[in-house]
Amino acid sequence: MVEGQIREEIEGAGETHPPPLNVREFLDSPEFRRFRIGMTKLLKVPKSELDHRVRTAKAKSPRAGNPNAPGRRKKGLDLPS
């Protein structure tokens, strides 16, 4: 009996959830609109400046040219594609 009670609590028995939004409803939601406006303001960087920042970051990276740097794949390992 106790196991049945625990299972009901875990599964959220008796709770009602709103139906999931479709793509159009999600894109039109006020939360997503606020997010999109914020990201647009944040990401307003000209392409030339962005390219320059990426090149500079790659050149200054302490991992550049270091095959033993963290996040690098080991050569010779057969990893699934």
Question: Whole-angstrom Cα distance, residue 11 to residue 43?
Answer: 40
The reply to whether 38 falls in a domain is yes
The reply to whether 27 falls in a domain is yes
Q: Where are the alpha helices (DSSP H) in 15-74?
A: 23-28, 30-42, 47-60
Query: What confidence score (pLDDT) does residue 18 get?
Result: 81
What do you get for the CA distance between the two ends of the chain, in Å?
A: 48
The reply to whether 47 falls in a domain is yes
The reply to whether 77 falls in a domain is no
Question: Is the pLDDT confidence value at 76 over 60?
Answer: yes
Question: Whole-angstrom Cα distance, residue 53 to residue 42?
Answer: 15
The reply to whether 35 falls in a domain is yes
The reply to whether 68 falls in a domain is no
The reply to whether 4 falls in a domain is no
If one counts the domains in the chain, the total is 1
For 42, the domain range is 19-55
The reply to whether 50 falls in a domain is yes
- At 6-36, the pLDDT tens digits run 555 555 556 787 888 899 999 999 999 999 9
Average pLDDT, the chain: 78
Question: Is the pLDDT confidence value at 60 over 80?
Answer: yes
